[in-house]
Structure 1
Amino acid sequence: MTRALITLGLGLLLLCHCGLAEKEKHRTKQQQFLNATEVYVQMFLNSFGSLNAANMDYSIDVFLRQSWLDHRLNFAKANGANRSRITINDPGVQARIWKPDTFFNNVKDAEIHRVTMNNVLLRLNATGHVLYSMRVTLKLSCNMEFKYYPFDRQDCGVSISSYANTDDVIKYHWVDDTPIDLPDELEIAQFDLLNFETSETTQHFVTGDFSGLVVQFFLRRQNGYHVLQTYIPTILIVAISWVSFWLDPNAVPGRVSLGVTTLLTLTTLASGIRQSLPPVSYVKAIDVWVGMCMIMVFGALLEFTFVNWLANKKILNPGNTFRVPRIFAGSDAEQLACAEDPAAKPPTTYMMYARALDRLCRVLFPGGFLLFNLIYWPYYLIQQYSDE
């Protein structure tokens, strides 16, 4: 009888223990279901396209790699399992496996590569860890600032988030080791990649709070292209407009055609520059340069108008004329000496003064343009290469 009671007690204890173990196992599974899935993201930049200033966007070709733990896919204890990982290539099987609904917040256009097959990798580890990688080409928007263009620096980023699952369902994290992988030979047209910065964010919408990731690329524009295509041609156009100062004040066809041609050429060049930029309301560095070149060319044309008027204007009262400094008299020094002699015949027009003004402008215009360059280039280069 005693032995029977002992056996019955042990049986009850065993049943209670099994019930508690089953209940704890069920609670563990329920906790795993209720906890947010931690998704770890890494990006490999296969290529970095050029920035489109007119549309304020840029393109990148990336390998987007996501990994998470799914306990339902644990096959470490499966009978006969002798492999540590499995790669699934069948699209039908891939579609049955849960994947995070990741999307890019600032994407304009996207494409998954499908040559020669879908560039998608789905790998399962025996412990239930899932690696989901795909190759995509993205066109992303970038809010650019053109105040110092073409001496500007741009900050363009990639924003990743879940579209439908709030942060209590999916939480995104960057991979601790190398979240952004860059190839050694990465090149960007017209830009230098200075650095990048990754961060984890939470986006707040009326539909809930969503976990997300952000990476910012810090870029600095290269100046070689714009120096060759914009600055050197405009400098030559401005210098050509100064040739009119060496022509005779009465050489109307030559001086007018030279001034109008240089002005129209500069206007056409400025129009081509504006087409490659968005119509922003503030003044850019290139606008300051083109505006100064316009002033120099238009000033040379106005100077000819005044000089031609002086050369043909008759002197009505020779006693009221002012004396021209000998440094600007040039070849008219003898005529100036005759004008100072009371017995000599005074000049009938202001031709001598017109030529003196031309000689003055030969120094004044290049000197003013040189002074502008000495201010313009250091100011904007310091802004571009400063550590801020």
Structure 2
Amino acid sequence: MSRDLLSPRCTTAAEEPANVKCKQKFTLGHKVDTTDYRVTPSLPGFGNLTKGYNRYLRPNFGGAPVVIAMSLNVASISSISESDMDYTATIYLRQRWTDSRLVFHGNKSFTLDARLVKYLWVPDTYIVESKKSFLHEVTAENRLIRLFSNGTVLYALRITTTVACNMDLSKYPLDTQTCKLQMESWGYDENDVLFTWLRGNDSVYGLENLRLSQYTVERYCTLSTMSHQETGVTTVLSMTTLMMGSRNSITKTNGFIKAIDIYLGICFSFIFGALVEYAVAHYIMSQKCASNKPEKGSPNDAPTENEDITITSILNTSVTSYNQKINFSVIDNDNCSGLTMTPKDKMRVIFKNKMHKVIESFTIQNPGNIDHYSKLLFPSFFVLVNLVYWAYYLMF
């Protein structure tokens, strides 16, 4: 996007030569079709400054991530609940970033009405582990937008939030708890938005003036980390929550097993089976990788002489050595008439040969086959179980 900044033009009135009237004209961006629904109307009172400005695109769209500098003022902590393991605080959250599309000439800054926020791009910051939050609206929305000539935007909010805090109450009431207030971007990753503290620990203030009834604020620190959203265990916990919720929402006057209980139990079994499959495949793969690595020994030892002790190798070694002994005895029996095999020995040989075949059938040569077959068996079996389930409950 090109940006053209026109210098202020000064004109002298004909009637009053001594008076000089200066007009400033700011042009930002290229011509955009006003019928395009993605284009935000011009910011009222700023003329061409935001003409063609698209609030749905972040600053530096397609380029380097936009850096959001945070500062926090803790106005009050109204309650800390040990029973609910949460705390309620009122905070002033300030966010700063630079938007090159909003650069204008001069050294002034402009404070905008809160209702004009809808015309600008703002970060989608949210409070992690927040149970409930609200923005103060008396007598008007408690938020502020300030524009600086270099394109810096200051966005301030007054928020009251209730945040979960995992507490260890084993030493209650002589306990010390650590509670976090973590903020993230909801829709952007590190390639688009980077959060940082404006002045390190000095970015948070107001805690030194707090007076709590049962607690004393000892210390605090600021951190910037990367968060990775993952599933697995979360799915199991979600299914457990659904199962408990379904039982609590229905009357407990009878102890019958309901259809929803059976269906949730089936889903839970498949999820747990997928976790077990992952654990088995990961363990076997790690054992195989360990067996392929040469052991650290003397430099004179050849890598091919190293042996890794695993369950599979022990079983294979034991069976192989037994086969060698059996083959030797059979040859001896054929060649030497003095050695005979009793029926009991023959049954023992047949039994151990069968056991050898069973062990070989359960030996996994390639751990990757576990995932390959699981991708086919799990969905197929789940569809089959669903057909039986719905056929039973819809037809009978």
Q: Do they fold alike, i.e. is TM over 0.5? A: no
When normalised by structure 1's length, the TM-score is: 0.43
Considering Cα pairs closer than 8 Å and 6+ residues apart, tell me whether 1 or 2 has the greater RCO. Answer: 1
When normalised by structure 2's length, the TM-score is: 0.42
Which of the pair is proportionally richer in strand? 1
Which of the pair is proportionally richer in helix? 1
Greater Rg over alpha carbons, structure: 1
